[in-house]
Amino acid sequence: MNKVKVPDIIISRLPVYLRALQYMAANGSTTTSSQELGEKVGISAAQIRKDLSQFGEFGKQGTGYHIPFLIERLLQILKVEHVWDVVLVGMGELGNAILRYQGFENRGFRIVACFDNDPAKIGTKVADFTIDDAKNITEKVRAMGIKMAMLCVPASTAQDITDKLVEAGVKGVLNYAPVSLTVPSDVRLQYIHPVIGLQRMAYYLLAK
């Protein structure tokens, strides 16, 4: 099975399936169907079956999916059976909201360090974290072996911080800063910004 060939649009839906399945499991369900899952996530049953078929056989015609098995397989496929260490950079309101969010760890991620360049913030505590000086970011991130970063800094400093993270060995950057960034080809960059999401929806709202 050559995973690199699975279209990115399918990969992008797997976390949504996983979340819905985990929610069902938490509510005591043990089986589901592509129809039921589809209704929960707003994606057609046929699309769900097609997406999952990229990774092998998950369900039987007529009996549906065994939820714990499907969750386990999706965790494996997405490589989140184990917890990834993540660095958070930029401790403004958004960074604070993310740092206080409790839902990362049981879904495969754990924030282990946070940085800012504001002297008024450096050394202060947010939740259980002490904000570290951004000037130490390369050496600390490298020393901790962190491979993933969330970037909540202003647009003006985003590329500089990204360069430092890449230098430190980070291979995945989730970018909240409202700016396009350049990374080497072996680094995965993903944009997460409300305007991007809104513009993508606007296309559909008047397209019909």
- Only segment of 60-68, 116-124, 129-137, 186-194 that touches its own copies (CB under 8 A): 186-194
Site for its own copies in 120-159 (CB under 8 A): 147-148, 150
The residue to which tokens 């699975």 are assigned: 6
For its own copies, the closer CB: 40 or 142:
40
**Which residues are paired to 192 by β-bridges?**
none
b (16+ CB within 10 A) / e for 178-188: ebebebeeebe
| DSSP label of 88 | E
Among 46, 127, 143, 196, which residue sits at the site for its own copies (rule: CB under 8 A)?
A: 196
C-beta of 137 vs 187, nearer to its own copies = 187
Decide whether 104 or 133 has the Cβ nearer to its own copies: 104
Other beta carbons within 10 angstroms of residue 27's beta carbon come to 7
CA distance 161 to 89: 8
* Partners of 64 in the β-ladder: 60
Binding site for its own copies (CB under 8 A): 3-4, 7-9, 11-12, 14-16, 18-20, 23, 39-42, 77-80, 84, 86, 92-94, 96-98, 100-101, 103-104, 107-109, 147-148, 150, 171-172, 174, 178-183, 186, 188-192, 194-208
